[in-house]
Amino acid sequence: MKNTIINGVNVYSFSSRKELIQYVSTEKKSLIAINAEKILHAKEETRSLINQNIGYADGIGAVWALKKKGFTDSIKIPGCELWLDIVGNFYKTKKFYLLGAKEEVIQETIKKLKQEFPGINILGYRNGYIKTANEQDEIIQTISSLKPDVVFVAMGSPRQEILMQEMQQLHPAIYQGLGGSFDVYVGNVERAPEWWVKNNLEWAYRLVKQPSRIKRQIHLVRFAIYLMIGKY
């Protein structure tokens, strides 16, 4: 499998979602979305978590970096779409567990999945509000006991990646960190229109809708400059 190191972060290059899904189905590791911000602000802990797993290009900045490294067939794979591709590929043969979001959101997510993927085997689910170490230990033990094939964790970075790593140690499976993807799935959060997504301008649409994001988008410009001058 093709991969390269960018600012200490190991990023895999995939030419299609099918290629990624085939790879993770044999590796049983955590899928971690990589964008410019994650590469730019990578620290020792986050690098270690990513590099032990499968960091894929979820943002256009990561794709730019891969292409500059010679991986010209690299594509952007949005995590909020990828998890549904994984469900679509495996819902007839694998067992699932979902963790994250508010209680009403996770319940609505489960209901919608069962409607869209008849017969899907969901072993269990839980909201993402884990307040104590005991509660976290309980969910890890639940995963170890139920032994799902695929676990989706929607809690935001780096918390979801840290939790997935702890789960992996007791029960190897396919894990994916989803951030706010459950909210997107049930319609609580609006994604950019299709044209913006297809033209890799989702970041620009978000900026138009939320001007306060300008501080975050400046990091994308900084990252692009680093690529141009060969820092990465």
Q: How many domains does the chain have?
A: 2
Q: 181 and 102, same structural domain? A: yes
Q: 103 and 43, same structural domain? A: no
CATH number at residue 177: 3.40.50.2300
pLDDT 10s digits, 190-229: 766 677 666 666 655 565 566 655 566 676 777 778 787 8
Q: 99 and 62, same structural domain? A: no
pTM: 0.89
DSSP letters, 24-78, are HHHH--EEEEE-HHHHHT--HHHHHHHHTSEEEE-SHHHHHHHHHTT-TT-----
pLDDT 10s digits, 130-161: 999 999 999 999 999 999 999 999 998 889 99
Helix (H, G, I), strand (E, B) or coil at 9: strand
From CA 30, how far away is CA 26, in angstroms rounded? 12
* Residue 150 pLDDT: 98
Q: 61 and 147, same structural domain? A: no
Q: 49 and 11, same structural domain? A: yes
Residue 28 has pLDDT above 90, yes or no: no
pLDDT 10s digits, 46-65: 899 999 999 999 988 899 99
Q: Which domain holds residue 145?
A: 79-189
Domain contains 207:
no
Q: 93 and 67, same structural domain? A: no
3-6 and 54-57 beta bridge pairing: unpaired
Residue 216: both structure tokens together: 């975050």
